[in-house]
Chains A and B, each alone.
Chain A
């Protein structure tokens, strides 16, 4: 009876066993890369909104403070989306005939709220508190990017857990003076390593990595 497998199959099988290791490793790496990709995390994706609100114009050009609209960012867990009233504070006076702002005026007129699409949307099992991050010197731009340069809003970071934990493990790399939290142009100084350590000590910043810090 002739043999079923040609002797060259020995080499082939060795090669495929060897190759399988790389294949599996490659597949795992690929899966990881896909999971982190903007395709999955929706980072840099601009969402359609009822009004094409430009942070670039309002923050970058006019120089509004973040807290003019996001009023509860220091006090509450939720930074706050401005009520229509806040828009109308100015837009009852300027651009009051603008076609683009008609949904805002309609909302105010009819007492019907605007419905925005969430750009930064954490999963429902994650509980985040803006107030304490602001208090401890985590700047707006650290997580939200240069909002003052975004004509339409997108998400700058992945908001994956590894991204949160990266800072929670070693906040010294990211924190700034609490007075600079709302400074859009802040960039880490050359001595962030040592300045950060000092800030962590001065502001009693703790590295909180317990599950219940965010999950409950």
Chain B
């Protein structure tokens, strides 16, 4: 039973004072070198059953082993049960049983589409890949989108219509709805209201207009808890209209991110990551092609990627932005509060860098959604002054249908509901009872409406507050369309007939708009028939469906002109303790709360799973006398929540970050008991940053499942960093691999030799690879209790290392799959030959041979093997059986498993090539993690082919192996990460 003590900060400071030069650490306990941490390192699986070390239990253990060996042999005598084969009656076109088909469609998050290709096995979708033709994807895909396929098969999804929590029928619901509409028609809908999320779908926009035309006095309100109110308001201030600014980061030499996590958040973040990583490639030896400054309040993966990162409270970031605008000659910046000495030095350095010779039009300043509209407007003006419009930033009209201030929209609806005058409210999607700002008292207001209808994917908090709930279809079950961040229209086509009795949002809107009876297919197709008039509509439609997007449907990108009047800057709320509300990095605004893949996905930087926490800087925690996992009460404006504390290096001082989306109470099994509800503290006045909070200790502990210290490789030069200013601090330059003698005879690999290179300079730590692997390889979810015991099953993990002082460390990410060592230490210790080497250099794992000794995992220096301590795979739930990749074994209790380099894809690729009498071409076989990676950091291929991409990467100077001194000869190697610091900020 090991868990490091929480308070080791005194020791941390002492340890830091002793250490000089580049030292990487993973946690504050490691930095302090506490004995408990050392124990954690020594344990293979922390907190597993204790090892049988005393004599009596050892004897008993051996006895049990012998018995289980004998019984294990007997299990081989069981005859296989009879199985059936069910062919089609009439075979569908194109379908060859056993061969997957791919269909293009689009997934939306917050209304914005990402083009995807969905793998379908005999009609059941199993895996989501990016659509290479789609501008928001370019072949990559994020963790949310990939995990949405689990939501499709989620057994907790709403399956039937309910009326006052009793099972009912669609006929009854529709009769009631029609009656309500007939009553509303009397006064033109003056007492009828509709609430949806952000709408970018052209078909839905048309339907909404029809609805509003039918009921001229009715209103349509829109609300997303993670909305774009501030940036749209900022654009209105700067340009007079709600423009969307599209960055082209592959053209930006210097990027300044002001509290803007552009690599993880917002529409178009996948594309932003791709462009950023492309530009990040070294131009000269060891110098990346761009420089990123990040000023941020809460640590983000963008900050981790920055060459210079400064933790600042939100108010200080706003002040900094105003000073910067003044420097650039923008009068509207007014008289900002003074900067302190350190901030002024940063301002100097950044302003000089942005305005340096030849930089005009090659920089970009990006403002985060949390910043007030006036700062967004200033940033627009600053970008214009730097000549960035038309070169690194382009404007398009807002992609949303009728963009409006959604918080204001919701407030108006609540005011009307409170007054008791409304007759009917229809809530389409969303979950406002849970995620509306607390000061609106949405649930109470809703209860004063006579007729309440709700359509949603889950029977959640909002459903419980409505009399009628109708199940909505998942996007993989229905027809629709949506716009991407740049306005490109994607068609959404179903991959499977609705699993339950769901109806799509279009079908519900059709009833409201007087088009009742039309299917969503008819609605979408007829809309486009009326919009597009190609000579052959059917061919045009088929092509759009095939491509997954409508070509040339994006609006023209323009160079905007800003005109700034006097701006009103809000008061800095930064007095007392500030609360920062942010979308959760894995479950977003709470819509994915019942998604086990995302719940168990370690959050970037904190590595928390199954919980959110009040994130706090080490210094602030010290001041408040708090330690990680302390349960506290957080109070703001008379409302309070109970939350666990988690100390995060690099957090700004005097603030707590609260991630939204947790603490839900209805809508599934997985979300039960996970985290606390940050919405309970959120208000309309301060949706992102709120000052004046109070923290009270409860004296209790809230155990968190943090994976940061699991599978630890014990230091030893794992992440290599090169910086032109400082040279390579690691003694031996990457690429200069020493040749170690070996007692094993050399093994020839005459055919293919598979290998992987991971470019740490490109990797941003977004977690997309982890979910891609989970989806491809049928990796089970184990639950919070098992994660605490170090038993999470992910085959690829993203390790996070810090360097430097805990107040503001540098942060590095490192994805670690199986290394597929040529001299694999795991193979030689397996007593049953369950893990062995393939002719092509793969480290194979034969599950049906494994008897579960775990020796291999013990002997693996990279800690990449995972053991099925319990029956984690779900063999029972019918809907989840449909999710499994049929080309990968679903593992059972008691066997070891690990990354296979996606051997099912290798075999399929090799067979395809051999059938065509040719060799596998470079890039033909793509591992799941590689396909998903938005930064293209992972490259897989044949290392025997000197022209392959992977060989060329491995030939670079930056290439190195992990723990090279062990001479395991890993086939997975890394390319060191590069820094491009500004000399003006590194001095002194």
Contact = CB atoms under 8 A, between A and B. Distances in A.
Interface of A: 34-35, 40, 42, 47, 72, 75-78, 80-85, 107-108, 111-118, 121, 123-125, 127, 129, 131-132, 135-136, 204, 206, 208-213, 215-216
B844 A211 contact: yes
Given A116-B86, A211-B836, 5 more contacts: A84-B88, A111-B89, A127-B907, A135-B915, A211-B844
Contact of A116 (B87, B89, B96, B900): B87
A80 B836 CA distance: 33
Interface in B68-107: 76-77, 79-80, 82-91, 96-99
Contacts of A211: 836, 838, 844-846, 849
Contacts of B847: 125, 215
Contacts of A82: 87
Contacts of B76: 35
Nearest to B751: A206
Given A112-B89, A210-B840, A211-B838, A78 B97 contact: yes
Contacts, number: 132
25 contacts: A35-B76, A35-B77, A42-B79, A47-B82, A75-B96, A85-B90, A85-B91, A111-B90, A113-B86, A113-B87, A114-B87, A116-B84, A117-B82, A117-B84, A117-B85, A121-B80, A123-B80, A124-B889, A135-B915, A208-B839, A210-B837, A210-B838, A210-B839, A215-B844, A216-B907
A141 B123 CA distance: 32
Interface in B38-96: 76-77, 79-80, 82-91, 96
B848 interface: yes
Contact of B89 (A34, A35, A78, A84): A84
A76 B85 contact: no
A125 B849 CA distance: 11
Contacts of A210: 836-840, 842, 844
Nearest to A124: B889
The 6 closest A-B pairs by CB, nearest first: A210-B838, A78-B98, A211-B844, A81-B87, A83-B88, A212-B844
B85 to A, nearest CB: 5
A76 B915 contact: no
B794 to A, nearest CB: 18
Contacts of A136: 914
A167 B838 CA distance: 18
A50 B382 CA distance: 77
A114 B84 CA distance: 10
Interface string B834-873: 0011111010111111000000000000000000000000
B234 to A, nearest CB: 52
Given A47-B82, A211-B846, A131 B89 contact: no
A138 to B, nearest CB: 13
A155 to B, nearest CB: 11
Given A77-B99, A115-B84, A83 B89 contact: yes
Contacts of B846: 211, 215
A118 B80 CA distance: 11
A76 B98 contact: yes
A171 B319 CA distance: 76
Contact of B99 (A75, A108, A123, A124): A75
Contact of A118 (B84, B837, B840): B84
A123 B87 contact: no
Contacts of A72: 96-99
Nearest to B887: A127
B904 interface: yes
Nearest to A72: B96
B888 interface: yes
B911 interface: yes
B903 interface: yes
B914 A135 contact: yes
Q: Which of A47, A80, A216 has the most CB of B within 10 A?
A: A216
A127 B888 CA distance: 9
A80 B842 CA distance: 31
A212 B838 contact: yes
A86 B98 CA distance: 19
A42 B81 CA distance: 11
Q: Which of A115, A118, A211 has the most CB of B within 10 A?
A: A211
